[in-house]
């Protein structure tokens, strides 16, 4: 995960304690519930334009 972040990749991960230690929602990645497939899909196709 850290290597992907170092290259500027957007991370989509589960909103769990170990992931929240590294990923800040809407700052350097997207977090969604581990079991919410719809939210995961929505984050994957969101418009990422500034």
Count of alpha carbons within 13 angstroms of residue 5, beta-carbon side? 13
Least Cα distance to 50 among 26, 32, 21, 25 occurs for 26
Asked, for residue 50, whether it belongs to a domain, the answer is: no
Res 49 pLDDT > 70: no
Q: What is the total count of domains within the chain? A: 1
Q: What is the pLDDT of residue 18?
A: 93
Helix or strand (DSSP H, E) at 3: helix 2-6
pLDDT in tens, 15-46: 999 999 999 998 888 899 889 888 888 888 87
Asked, for residue 36, whether it belongs to a domain, the answer is: yes
Q: Note the pTM of the prediction, 2 decimals.
A: 0.71
Res 6 pLDDT > 60: yes
Q: Supply the range of the domain harboring residue 20.
A: 2-45
């Amino acid at each position: 995960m850290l290597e992907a972040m170092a290259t500027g990749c957007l991370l989509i991960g589960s909103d769990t304690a170990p992931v929240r230690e590294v990923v800040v929602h809407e700052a350097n990645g997207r977090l969604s519930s581990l079991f919410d497939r719809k939210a995961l899909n929505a984050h994957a196709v969101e418009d990422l334009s500034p």
